[in-house]
Amino acid sequence: MQNIPTQESFSAPTTPPYNQQDWQKGYESQPHEYDYWIDNIEGEIPPGLHGTFFRNGPGLLDINGMPIHHPFDGDGMVCAISFKDGKAHFRNRFVRTEGFIKEQEAGTILYRGVFGTQKPGGWLNNAFDLQPKNIANTNIIYWGGRLMALWEAAEPHRLDPYTLDTMGIDYLDGILESGDSFAAHPWVDPSSKLDGGSPCLVNFALKPGISTTLVIYELDPAGKLLRRHAHSIPGFAFIHDFAITPNYCIFFQNTVSFNPIPFVLGFRGAAECVKFQPDKPTRIVVIPRNPESGESVQFFETPSGFVFHHANAFEQGDEICIDSVCYEYFPEVEPDSDFRQVDFDALAPGQLWRFTLNLPHKTVQRQLLEPRCCEFPFAHPDQAGRPYRYLFLGAAHQHRGNAPLQAILKLDLETGKRQDWSAAPRGYVSEPIFVPKPDASAEDECWVLTMVYDAAHHRSDIVILDGQDLSEPLARLHLKHHIPYGLHGSWSDECFV
Ligand code: CO
């Protein structure tokens, strides 16, 4: 955000609680696929923990030894950790996308990646090849009896929830057509007021162009289409995530521009042509969920910044509050850079902000909720789109500056109290998954699951924390191998083993 004091708050302590070589090892490819009961466990798996933790992320950071340019270009690899009777089973499989199969057969890079991976042979071999590879690497959800690996620029892939075998591209029984996209950040509205209080899945698709089309999809628990409506908004948009309330979908149109020419001519990946525009405001787009409400789309403006992820949103009288992890600027992807050499100290940290929109007055107020470097927010699924009290995030170990995520941070938004558990100096956390305990009465009566890369043993752990007391993990499940840093995951109460 423009008005965050920069230099001072970004200066890191002299001895960082991490080691860059350690951190880099978490980005080694994992080409193997495993299937075993986890037997190396510290602590005890809670007997009541029953279900499956699915998570997705880039499994390959190279194709046959040829490095890809950015982790976001890596082929999706899904992990499923199934919990039953105090035991846990691990399985991982690559999503057999068309591109994955062809490249593994050819043993070489055959596709350009959105984040700068180029085919061998220089720009001449890349020019005018605008066909992206659907890498299915960003999220994995189970909805309507379907397990779906999601990547925001293309269709979902359906997997068998027991074996993680790829069943193919899923058009959702004709809701999608070939070439349609389906974003990687759906929300489940736990009690949709438009549907008599039944849950529904709300997602969007973004069709880029000189103006941008946002398509909203709402699906019932069987996966049937409830509502679909499209809206055109002016200008280019780079939108990864959105937020919902009972009545609205909320999008942040980040302040970036796009010059496609170096991409088309084969010099740069598409995302390398995105330029941050600090002098322009972020536009907040509020779309009514009920297309028959007669309400029009509303636009708001707030100073520049860049948002990947929203934690939650809720309505409060005439206001909508949106809590989001916001960066002072977009971390631009450079063609000649190596992501492993990133200088954390030189980048702005993600910080949690609350944006309060006043609908009748068309104003936006901002409040910094958490200055500590954080990402991957996760709140109670039953509070999605509603007032909520507790939020879990991945966070840096130290309270100031920018650094890799090594801690799980719990925020009490009512009292301001914070609690954390840190895996520093040699552990690196990923997204915390919120699993409500059976028969819970308090909002934070939950288990928090996260995958931690342990550089000391070059392996990954599944860590189970008690949501009401983060001080010591209830259990650390040591995998036999490492899993590269991932993106997003979800919990299903069904145990698929
Ligand atoms: Co995301």
Residue-wise pLDDT for 68-104, tens only, equals 999 999 999 999 999 999 999 999 999 999 999 999 9
Q: What's the 247 CA to ligand 1 centre distance in angstroms?
A: 23
The answer to whether position 11 is within a domain reads no
What's the CA-to-centroid distance between 196 and ligand 1, angstroms?
30
Q: How far is CA 227 from CA 184, 202, 285, 288, 469, in A?
A: 18, 9, 19, 12, 41
The side-by-side arrangement of strands in the sheet containing 351-358 is: 306-316, 319-327, 351-358, 363-370
CA of 8 to the centre of ligand 1 (A): 28
pLDDT per residue over 378-428, tens digit each? 999 999 999 999 999 999 999 999 999 999 999 999 999 999 999 999 999
Q: Give the C-alpha separation, 113 to 478, whole Å.
A: 33
Ligand 1 center–CA 86 separation, angstroms: 30
Asked if residue 8 is part of any domain, the answer here is no
Q: What is the pLDDT of residue 5?
A: 40
CB contact at 8 A, 271 and 334: no
- Cα–Cα distance, 474 to 423 (Å, whole number): 14
Q: How far is the CA of 484 from the centre of ligand 1 (A)?
A: 16
Q: Give residue 14's pLDDT.
A: 63
**Rounded distance from Cα 125 to ligand 1 centre (Å):** 31
* pLDDT tens profile 307-362: 999 999 999 999 999 999 999 887 777 777 888 999 999 999 999 999 999 999 99
- Rounded to the nearest whole angstrom, what is the distance from the C-alpha of residue 15 to the centroid of ligand 1? 30
**Residue 3 forms part of a structural domain:** no
The CA 167 to ligand 1 mean position distance, Å, reads: 24
- Give me ligand 1 centre to Cα 488, in Å: 6
Give residue 310 CA to ligand 1 midpoint distance, Å: 9
Q: Are the C-beta atoms of residues 435 and 380 closer than 8 Å to each other?
A: no
> At a CB cut-off of 8 Å and minimum separation 6, what does 181 contact?
152, 153, 154, 155, 205, 206, 207
Ligand 1 mean position, distance from CA 454 (Å): 23
How far is CA 259 from each of CA 105, 125, 150, 340, rounded to the nearest angstrom? 34, 20, 26, 26
Low-confidence ranges of the chain (pLDDT < 50): 1-12
Domain that holds residue 302: 20-492
> Separation of 453 CA from ligand 1 center, angstroms?
19
Nearest Cα to Cα of residue 63 among 108, 105, 126: 108
Q: Is the pTM of this model over 0.75?
A: yes
Residue 320 lies in a domain: yes
Instruction: Please state the domain count of the chain.
Output: 1
Assess if residue 497 is contained within a domain. Answer: no
CA of 118 to the centre of ligand 1 (A): 23
Please check whether residue 480 is in contact with residue 459, taking contact to mean a CB–CB distance below 8 angstroms: yes
Cα 379 to middle of ligand 1, angstroms: 15
How many angstroms does the Cα of residue 44 sit away from the middle of ligand 1?
31
In angstroms, the CA 243 to CA 256 distance is 20
Task: Report how far ligand 1's centroid is from the alpha carbon of 122 (Å).
Answer: 31
Rounded CA-CA distance 178/389 in Å is 41
Dihedral pair phi/psi, residue 405, rounded to 5°: -80, 120
